[in-house]
Chains A and B, each alone.
Chain A
Amino acid sequence: MSKIGIRSVTKTFQVRDSGEPPFTALSGVDLEVREGEFLTLVGPSGCGKSTLLDLVAGLTHPTAGEILIDGAPVTGPGLDRGIVFQQYALFPWRTAQANVEFGLEAKAVPRKERAHRARDHLALVGLSGFEDRYPHELSGGMRQRVAIARSLAFDPDVLLMDEPFAALDAQTRESLQEELVRVWQHTGKTVVFITHGIDEAVYLGQRIAVMTSRPGRIKEVVEVAFDSREGDLRADPVFGEYRHHVWKLLRDEVAAAQIQERTVVTSHG
């Protein structure tokens, strides 16, 4: 069944203090995300991927259309959805443990259970023994693990991830990708994962939703099926085929996005 329903969603922003027409970020987006699936979302930069995620998170409201979680419209943010941001968004004055407890405090979980659950989730992302470290004492990869643990700890049904590994180096990114797959298989969450990396999209996604350039729509949803996820998946010829298919879908959109950017620059500069 469908976990998240995105039905002809349009989002426009009024450009402040100008007579220009409103800026259309998304235009008629339709997408169904199945219960427990791992969906990756790729698109050229500026196509409204993050806006779409904000809408599902309930941080903003669609101009037109509707967003449903389990068939019920989204009215605002809630602990049934957890977000992981690219820049970690950890609270620097809280230790790793206290950061993970943050969402549990919001959920009014009793103190003892909070500590217990936070430790369990830090262990799940491989950070046992780092409970008392402050974010600035952790590497980028470790901070992102804390952020993932924080979003999992309050047990949301849906995990929304906005280019979470984009700021990390290649090796760290790969190992975190593997761990994310493991965590996803272990917890059975529905994951929506935004990326601009085609490899990452193919490696992680059961399905890949490819978006057009602005105003963003869903161009195509690619089903990804590997016989087995064991071994070096990226070396599998099938991986290359998927990769090339998504690349072709994106190429025209990226070109279109670049032309758009140039016209914006010339008209404003």
Chain B
Amino acid sequence: MNDMSQILKKEPEPAPGEALSAESLPAKSSPVLRFEAPPSTSLWAHARYIVTENPVTGLAFGLFALILLAALIGPSIVPYDPLASNTNAALQAPSRAHWFGTDQLGRDIFSRVIAATRLDFSIAVFSVALVFVLGGLAGVMAGFFGGWVDKLVGRIADTIMAFPLFVLAMGIVAALGNSVTNIVLATAIINFPLYARVARAEANVRREAGFVQAARLSGNSDWRLLLTQILPNIMPIMAVQMSLTMGYAILNAAGLSFIGLGVRPPTPEWGIMVAEGASFIVSGEWWIAFFPGLALMIAVFCFNLLGDGVRDLVDPQRRN
């Protein structure tokens, strides 16, 4: 357990999720989740093992580093201004000057694809962080207190699940207003049931665990038990859940902007760039839609593999 949280801490993961998963340090005290790592194995050796043992996971971590880099410093290293149009150079096929070609306004697609990483990545990270807090907390409370809290959370989750999720996200963004913030919110809401259920199940199992009862006998209040005993112990599982839903979050957000919600042109964003290139596909200018789509695909692919990798780190028993 100790291993995993420290590894997560050393992984260059951005703020909200990171801060929370670092809290899983006290999980050391959990008798339920501890897995046997030989005491001599240092955490780096374990991380190296996970990354090198399965080359696919290694690839995913490498891609993740690239995406992170592009999100952090991308906009300042791109060869062209992602917003600057140049009608003399419109609709050029990929070349040495423009690696990914140019679009109908002569904007450099390579620069736009790289610059878009920050926005797409932030949407995914913020929505996952938001649902992690909301869904996680609601689920833990439902599992720990039971009773009407459980019923209420269950009912909310059921109602959300009664909608096809993408359709609900469309409805939410349309109603709340067409902005990036609302895309983040909508993506978080449709993931709520998933997080709430996992957190509920995990909290429910631990409610009567020995260490919780010991803490209760020492005179801790319910809320204190929940925050200091239960919550830290379910963090690893929730961290896995987060990395598994990142890919879906990014896909969902790109889908929403593909149909014209949230992100507005000329902002570079993968979904909207694919939408802009869609009308040129039939006349053969494939590169306008292809490269942003490819970037999106690689990002989702990377997050999905990464999710499996993090799960292997945290919970070796569920490996497949």
Instruction: Tell me whether A and B are bound partners.
Output: no
